[in-house]
Chain A
Amino acid sequence: MGFFVLGRGQLRRVIIIFSIVFVFLLFTSQHAIYAMHITEGILPPRWVFTWFAVSMPFVGIGIYHIKRKKKIVPSYLPLVGMLGAAVFVFSCFPIPVIALNGMTTSHPCGTGMSAVLLGPFVSVVVAAIALLIQALFLAHGGLTTLGGNIFSMGILGSFSGYFAFKIAQRCRLSLFWCGFLAGMISDLFTYLGTSIELGLLVINKGGSFFKATAEIFAVFMMTSQGILCIVEGVVVGLALLFIYKRKPSILLHLGVIKNDTKPIRA
């Protein structure tokens, strides 16, 4: 039985055209490559529920943290909202992809920055809201894939970035390098999470999960995101250093640094 209404030759042509369009979109878009969020309709029902079930407890704990802090410090909600908005805007920066000689731009995740400033659980809530806004008003990501995207960007991104920052601080690295590691590792883990989620789609259908995950991750890294991880790390490091020089009270207030942190020039 034929696989399509179209003939075999016609279908081959359709696929070739689709590949050209895809490569065109991937490499020559003048706006941005938004590749880190899984789009609407990609995940089958069981994975939709699985990722929601995994993500919701983290969001719940984040809400609990905000509520508890709001009772003690009433200004906490405007602070989280405003920093969340700033991180959202930061995640919209069109960073030129150096590997493609600036032909296209990509954008940072921002979760490393928000995890360092707000803590990992609150950062998960901020990421969940940012993803909801993006899914509804930018058609970027999706509603049924929200759980999966919260897992990769919110949970993996925030926790990896936060722990990278804390471990770097424990190792007495300078503030720039702590920020650099937080930004870079949160970005890497976000893409790893997305690759795992997409790789899992081939399970039970005769495909190799590890091979698919490795290939997707390799595609992300080789096209634009590998360099972007490093660039995001540098930007987060420089941003923290800038805040430290201009308004160290902000970092002290948020508990990012203690008085003994030694920054160095970039």
Chain B
Amino acid sequence: MGFLHHTFSDIYTRQDNWLTKTDVRIKLLYIVLLLTINLWSQNIFVSLLFLPVSFLLLLLIKIPIMAMLRSMLLPVSFAILILFIKGLHEGEKEWLSFSFVGYKVILKEEGLRSGLHTCSKVLGGISIVIIFSFTTSISQLCAGLKWFRLPNTIIELLSFIYRYVFILLDEASTMWTAQKSRLGHASWKKVIKSFGTLAGMLIIRAFERAERTNEAMQVRGYEGGGILTINLPPWRKQEYASVLGLALILPILIYIGSMQIW
């Protein structure tokens, strides 16, 4: 159960570097616009450009390469699945055919071409997202989303859920270890029964904790209004320069992305 603590990429957001110090609003602007370009690009080059740039930037701020690869593993496996689905279903021109357990598999050229285009978009998109996730904490994200006028309820719930996920994860982990050490995982039947008990206990603990948290919040003056008080400072020269940089990069990326080269 403890693996999630290591999998969450925000453990690197506490590092002191120029990317973690960059204003969250700028990062959100970049991520949204670059993801849009990645989505609309007509060729693989723009999307594939994001991959080395992202890796380079993350290596510069000393993010372990294994952490980056771990983040990319699942999206890449999904992308390969899509490559096969498209190769099997799209187009007419046969490129490769073989028999697999009595089922004739025909991979088509148009489908594989389209599948590879999708794979490049997956790599590009994930490269953009991991830069954001490795350098932005949840409190920064909430402050940024608040600035962009996202509903307060969503932001408050996001901060609540994120804060208590780790506490409940620790509790679940302790119970999991206790079950395991008392032969609660000795057979499939026992494993499933132990999971049921664990899930039930987790809900009970969450309910009790919610009551305690509410009491604590009321003591501090909470009456059902907003709970977030973080306000971002006005933009400085650096932020304006970053927006200007984005305005300069965007037309170039849009131009390259619109070329029908591949």
| Chain A residues within 8 Å of B, Cβ to Cβ | 3, 12, 15, 18-19, 21-22, 25-26, 31, 34-35, 38-42, 44-45, 48, 59, 63, 66-67, 70-71, 74-75, 77-86, 88-90, 92-96, 98, 113, 117, 125-126, 128-130, 132-133, 135-140, 142-144, 198, 201-202, 205-208, 211-212, 215-216, 231, 234-243, 246-247, 250, 266
Contact = CB atoms under 8 A, between A and B. Distances in A.
Interface in B44-83: 47, 71-75, 77-83
A231 B75 contact: no
Interface string B90-114: 1110011000000000010111111
23 contacts: A3-B95, A25-B77, A38-B78, A40-B129, A41-B38, A41-B121, A41-B123, A74-B214, A77-B160, A77-B224, A79-B210, A82-B206, A85-B206, A98-B188, A125-B153, A139-B75, A142-B75, A205-B91, A206-B110, A238-B197, A242-B197, A246-B204, A266-B193
Given A137-B10, A142-B125, A250 B207 contact: yes
A22 to B, nearest CB: 4
B141 interface: yes
Interface in B1-24: 1, 3-4, 7-10
A86 B168 contact: yes
Contacts of A235: 192, 195-196, 199
Q: Which 7 residue pairs across A and B have the least CB separation, nearest first?
A: A238-B196, A81-B160, A242-B200, A41-B121, A40-B125, A41-B125, A207-B89
Interface stretch (B215-223, B231-239, B241-249, B252-260): B215-223
A207 to B, nearest CB: 4
Nearest to A234: B192
How would you classify the secondary structure of chain A's contact residues: helix, strand, loop or mixed?
helix
Nearest to A40: B125
B224 A74 contact: yes
A62 to B, nearest CB: 9
Given A48-B39, A74-B224, A95 B195 contact: yes
B40 A45 contact: yes
A95 to B, nearest CB: 7
Contact of B156 (A77, A90, A238, A247): A77
A89 B168 contact: yes
Interface in B115-146: 118, 121-126, 129-130, 132-133, 136, 138, 141
Contact of B86 (A19, A93, A201, A242): A201
Nearest to B171: A89
Interface of B: 1, 3-4, 7-10, 31, 35, 38-40, 47, 71-75, 77-86, 88-92, 95-96, 107, 109-114, 118, 121-126, 129-130, 132-133, 136, 138, 141, 151, 153-154, 156-158, 160-165, 167-169, 172, 188, 191-193, 195-207, 209-211, 213-214, 217-218, 222-224, 227
A136 B10 CA distance: 9
A143 B128 CA distance: 10
Contacts of B83: 18
Contacts of B92: 206
A212 B171 CA distance: 42
A143 B35 contact: yes
A31 B39 contact: no
A81 B211 CA distance: 12
A85 B163 CA distance: 8
Contact of A75 (B40, B151, B214): B214
Given A235-B192, A246-B200, A45 B156 contact: no
A86 B164 CA distance: 8
B133 A86 contact: no
Contacts of A113: 199, 203
Nearest to A254: B207
Most chain A beta-carbon neighbours within 10 Å: one of B111, B160, B167, B195: B195
Contacts of B218: 74
Nearest to B119: A41
A8 to B, nearest CB: 8
A34 B70 CA distance: 13
Given A48-B39, A92-B169, A136-B129, A81 B164 contact: yes
B151 A63 contact: yes
Contacts of B89: 202, 205, 207-208, 211-212
A81 B80 contact: no
Most chain A beta-carbon neighbours within 10 Å: one of B1, B4, B114, B211: B4
